[in-house]
A and B are shown apart, each in its own frame.
Chain A
């Protein structure tokens, strides 16, 4: 379940996998480069990100939505017109 967090003065940080934290930045950069080739028929990279939903701030993981269809949409920014 999404874990609610208290709104502080700092931006909530992206939660990284324990595995990733241990790798040095060069390796992480290589992994990101490799995995940025999204392919149909292959697993969607999992992530945990802070979000706003139903009046609350919480951390959401893609893996929590296994068993459901997910539409993951990226967009340039809040208050943009399109």
Chain B
């Protein structure tokens, strides 16, 4: 979503983005002229008249589970967004029985919150697991 019109979205898709990925953009490109939706989400830059790089993860019940906001010159890490969705899906499925520690990604160990884990995370989880390598 940006303040650009749907016409500009079409031309950007047709002239540039579709050439990057070899097909049309696979999700709706939304138009927020005036920035009203951006204001609602608290990421509209009044001075510049544009949206900042806000990214919101919304669960199947419409609840915000996470967000990240960056200033324009730094791009997002899409892999990190996907990792967070995978983690949120896992904990949602587990209904509170499992939690994903720092650095978790699919295949890595989860933690089982409960009285026995209090003060014992050091036995279950190593700092090195917070990092990918």
Query: Would A52 and B72 count as touching, CB distance under 8 A?
Result: no
Segment 26-82 of A: residues with Cβ below 8 Å from B: 32, 35-47, 49-55, 57-58, 60, 62-63, 65-80, 82
Main secondary structure, interface of B, reads mixed
- Separation in Å of the B79 CB from the closest CB of chain A? 13
Q: How large is the interface on B (under 10, 10 to 19, 20 to 34, 35 or more residues)?
A: 35 or more
The chain A residue sitting closest to B72, CB to CB, is A76
With A36-B42, A38-B41, A60-B30 already in contact, the answer to whether A66 and B6 are too (CB < 8 A) is no
Query: Would A71 and B85 count as touching, CB distance under 8 A?
Result: yes
Main secondary structure, interface of A, reads loop
Total interface residues on A, CB under 8 Å, equals 49
Query: Would B31 and A76 count as touching, CB distance under 8 A?
Result: no
With A14-B34, A36-B42, A69-B60 already in contact, the answer to whether A51 and B54 are too (CB < 8 A) is no
Interface residues of B (CB under 8 A from A): 1-13, 16, 24-25, 27-34, 36-43, 45, 48, 50-67, 72-76, 81, 85, 88-89
